[in-house]
A and B are shown apart, each in its own frame.
Chain A
């Protein structure tokens, strides 16, 4: 399969003025301004095949948005290289721009005072869609996103969820082969988040487009992405299957046991760390290597009615990755 994205040693430094605190610092910066370079993305290399749906994870300021901006051609890297759909993105060739879309959850491209349909008409002209294609694409999006009557209402009168769906429709009208989504479910309620997620999944399946998405919403990632790329402080930390992330970063499993009589939880400390004990049920975190021994000890020495071993939830691991790096 052809590669949709390939980056090699992609690096981006930002230059920002440094101001000493206080009024004097302000006056000083008027005449003598110092700058500091901050490395936002540091030698990131990865490749994504056409049609993949990849989650791009990292804490705030890890360099996710900067990477997406480079891949969409908005930013030029300080060093390294990238190709997207065979183009160097920051050359901003119209043929490249016609094949991609970048949706930033907190930014809008819709015209505020008038119905979203007008923005769609403008995008039809910008992307050079024939009337027939426009109709077909729009009908499909209206159906998938449940837009219907929202098309004729001024955008400012729409709810956040309705607006976000219109935003997605505007970004997808030209059927981009590469879709970069930055926090697509931010600010939406749970039901709306689910709708948007289902839409993204359906769109990926139906159009075969490559999708790369960042999200702080773990459900988004777990439900949508088989593969994730994790970056931390600008560096690539992990690139692979979401399931494997568990094996690699969870050094323990969860052991849960229900007893027939009361047990002193303090006595169980030797088997693993006790997370919870209630209703005669204990939840233990046990290092992978000691799992068999701990389970055997538990069965041998305690009145166990039921016992099961579970992997740590993926979202817990990703959350830990974000907080501890």
Chain B
């Protein structure tokens, strides 16, 4: 356990050390939030609600997106692809270390910094637009939201880990990873609430783990999901996490075996 805690602390230092990368990352994310905010404000116009969301709820959705992007969508996929392609992965494979635990520790460090930055940005934006925001009063909502977000970030981490592990077989695994990340943002509700989509497509997406990553946690936050239903869905999320974790470990083990057979 100590290993991963030390790795977390070191990664935290490194993330803070790379100031310009961090600032660029944050500026990019901030621009997305500002454009989404303008887009939805224009769409809602004078209407009291739009797709079942009040103006305040929609603004909250957009701001929550910024926080969730920072917490959920920050895997270590590109690092893994790079380390497999360059052969650096070798130096981890010969040490008494679980690489996925190590990568998760690094990811948690990245999340810590980015979430802190996103809270700052969200507060700034909320203060700038002076619009009403939806903040749940019931502590249970916060708990359910926290549980949902934690599970969703782990699902994302292991899904990305699995896809990046394809680099063990092909030098072109950057392509699938890129497509995955783009599709995921759409399917998770990180561009817009999934209520926008036709019913058939929504039903289809509900059979995947994607809506659990952004759409579901935000709806929990907005108290649009009754607590009992939220608990059931968190249970579903946990099942998804187990499935994704098992699959990722299988792909990883086979990848390492293939790497050991084919050479680093």
Please report A residues at the B interface, Cβ cutoff 8 Å: 12, 14-15, 40, 66, 69, 72-76, 90, 92, 94, 97-98, 100, 102, 104, 107-109, 111, 113-114, 118-119, 121-122, 124-128, 154
Interchain Cβ contacts under 8 Å between A and B, 26 examples: A14-B262, A14-B263, A15-B262, A66-B263, A69-B90, A72-B94, A73-B93, A73-B94, A76-B260, A92-B93, A97-B95, A97-B96, A102-B90, A102-B91, A104-B90, A104-B91, A107-B87, A107-B88, A108-B88, A113-B14, A113-B18, A121-B6, A121-B10, A125-B6, A126-B95, A128-B96
Report whether B264 and A69 are in contact in the complex, using a CB–CB cutoff of 8 Å: yes
Q: Enumerate chain B residues within 8 angstroms of A73, measured Cβ to Cβ.
A: 93-94
B5 to chain A, nearest CB (A): 8
Chain B window 97-108, contacts with chain A (Cβ cutoff 8 Å), 1 for yes, 0 for no: 100000000000
- Report which residue of B2, B10, B88 has the largest number of chain A beta carbons within 10 angstroms of its beta carbon: B10
Q: Which residues of A contact B263 (CB under 8 A)?
A: 12, 14, 40, 66, 69, 75
Determine if B96 and A107 form an interchain contact, defined as CB atoms under 8 angstroms apart. Answer: no
Q: Cβ of B261 < 8 Å from any Cβ of A?
A: yes
Pick the contact of B96: A69, A75, A98 (CB < 8 A): A98
Compute how far the CA of A283 lies from the CA of B37 in the bound complex, rounded to whole angstroms: 86
Flag whether B246 is at the interface (Cβ < 8 A): no
The CA-CA distance from A108 to B88 in the complex, in Å, is 8
Chain A residues with Cβ below 8 Å from B3 are: 122, 125-126
- Nearest-neighbor residue (CB-CB) of A171 within chain B: B91
CB pair B94–A100 under 8 Å, yes or no, is yes
Given contacts A15-B262, A66-B263, whether A114 and B88 have CB atoms under 8 Å apart is no
Q: Give complex CA distance A100, B97 in Å.
A: 14
Closest 3 CB pairs of A and B: A94-B96, A125-B6, A125-B3
When distances are taken between beta carbons in the complex, the residues of chain A under 8 Å from B18 are: 113
**A75 near B264 (CB under 8 angstroms)?**
yes
Interface centre among A12, A14, A98, A109 (most CB of B within 10 A): A109
For B95, what are the chain A residues with a Cβ–Cβ distance below 8 Å?
Answer: 97, 126-127
Q: A102-B94, A107-B90 are in contact. List 18 more A-B contacts (CB 8 A).
A: A14-B262, A69-B90, A72-B94, A75-B263, A92-B94, A97-B96, A102-B91, A104-B90, A111-B10, A111-B14, A113-B17, A118-B13, A122-B6, A122-B7, A125-B3, A125-B7, A126-B96, A154-B17
Q: How far is A126 from B88 in the complex, measured between Cα atoms in Å? A: 17
Residues of A within 8 A of B260 (CB): 74-76, 90
Cα–Cα distance between A15 and B258 once the two chains are bound (Å): 11
**Cβ distance B14 to chain A, nearest Cβ, rounded Å:** 5
Instruction: Kindly list chain B residues whose C-beta atoms are within 8 Å of the C-beta of A97.
Output: 94-96
> Is B10 a contact partner of A126 (Cβ separation < 8 A)?
no
Report the separation of the CA atoms of residues A98 and B3 in the bound assembly, to the nearest whole angstrom. 14
- What residues of B have a CB within 8 angstroms of the CB of A40 in the complex? 263
Closest to A180 in B: B94
Most chain-A Cβ atoms within 10 A of its Cβ — which of B7, B10, B94, B262? B94
Q: B232-264: contact bitstring with A at CB < 8 Å (1 yes, 0 no)?
A: 000000000000000000000000010011111
What residues of chain A lie closer than 8 Å to B87, measured between beta carbons?
Answer: 107
Query: Which of A92, A122, A128 has the most chain B CB atoms closer than 10 A to its own CB?
Result: A122
Whether A114 touches B10, Cβ cut-off 8 Å, given contacts A76-B260, A122-B3, is: yes
Contacting A at CB under 8 A, from B68-110, are: 87-88, 90-91, 93-97
Which residue from A90, A114, A126, A128 sits with its C-beta under 8 Å from B13? A114
